[in-house]
Amino acid sequence: MSNSFLRLSGVHRHYGEGATQVRVLDEADLAVESGELVALVAPSGAGKSTLLHLCGLLESPQAGEVEIVGNKTSQLNDRGRTQLRRNTVGYVYQFHHLLPEFSALENVSMPQMIAGKTPAEAAVRAQELLDILGVGPRAAHRPAELSGGEQQRVAIARAAANHPRVILADEPTGNLDPATSDIVFEALKNLIRTEGAAALIATHNYDLARRADRIVTIKNGKVVAHTL
């Protein structure tokens, strides 16, 4: 039995019609396993954001299938897609988007309470994640009191708060200096191993991409292996 938490099969995505049509993905295939970190490296405009949006159910393909933990999504309505995304996908953006008036612990607790956990239950999970990511001692601090790397690690903890099976990250170290990028990437990698999630990370940082389990790129609308 496949252990792919994320699978794209024959996915096609284009924009526009007729002579102005732009084909971004054409019969694209991709599978990411539990506990696997895949780096996505491609030039600007190649379709990295489109691919992440499709994997995160923020967009739908014109053809093909996106499966999340074995759930085929092509026949789901908007509500079904939203529910599946909320329950199984965690997203990390280039900018942390933490709520400034809340502490690190509260930022990580909030999505759990929205999902139905009590504040006490949420706090236990939040502290556990902050500890895994090396920012446990900063749990009571607000974002403005944290460094850029600490803020991003809290954002990663928030993305993982509800035990997502799939973690998607769009340039998660793009705003950080090289030394801090290393720390954040290793923390993210450690979290993925610990949680057993499948992760797809878009990055322009070749040094970090080489530390992933494998690297893919987008070429002629296909997702293909890439060697840096």
% of the chain beyond a pLDDT of 90 = 41
The sheet carrying 22-33 orders its strands as: 22-33, 4-15, 63-68, 71-72
In terms of CATH architecture, what is 37-61+78-225?
A: 3-Layer(aba) Sandwich (3.40)
Amino acid 146: pLDDT: 94
For the cut 50, the answer to whether the pLDDT of residue 151 exceeds it is yes
Q: What is the pLDDT of residue 4?
A: 82
Give the three-class secondary structure for 223.
strand
3 state DSSP class of 60? coil
Q: How far apart are CA 40 and CA 9, in angstroms?
A: 17
Would you call 82 helix, strand, or coil by DSSP? helix
**Mean of the pLDDT values across residues 151-177?**
87
Higher pLDDT, 126 or 86: 126
Residue closest to 84 by CA, chosen among 71, 97, 94: 71
Alpha-carbon distances of 100 from 97, 139, 146, 195, rounded to whole Å: 9, 13, 11, 27
The answer to whether the beta carbons of residues 131 and 173 sit under 8 Å apart is no
Bridge partners (DSSP) listed for residue 225: 216
What rounded mean pLDDT belongs to the chain? 88
pLDDT bracket for residue 145 (50, 70, 90): very high
DSSP-assigned letter for residue 70: T
Mean of the pLDDT values across residues 113-118? Answer: 90
Instruction: Please give the pLDDT value at position 154.
Output: 93
The model's confidence at residue 1, banded by pLDDT at 50, 70 and 90, is very low
Amino acid letter for position 217: T
Both tokens of 109, joined, read 């607790």
The DSSP H or E segment spanning 9 is: strand 4-15
Domain ranges in the chain are: 37-61+78-225
- Asked if pLDDT for residue 228 goes beyond 70, the answer is no
- Backbone angles phi and psi of 121, in degrees to 5: -60, -45
Q: What is the H or E stretch that residue 107 is in? A: helix 104-114
Q: What pLDDT does 31 receive?
A: 93
What local confidence, expressed as pLDDT, does residue 2 receive? 56
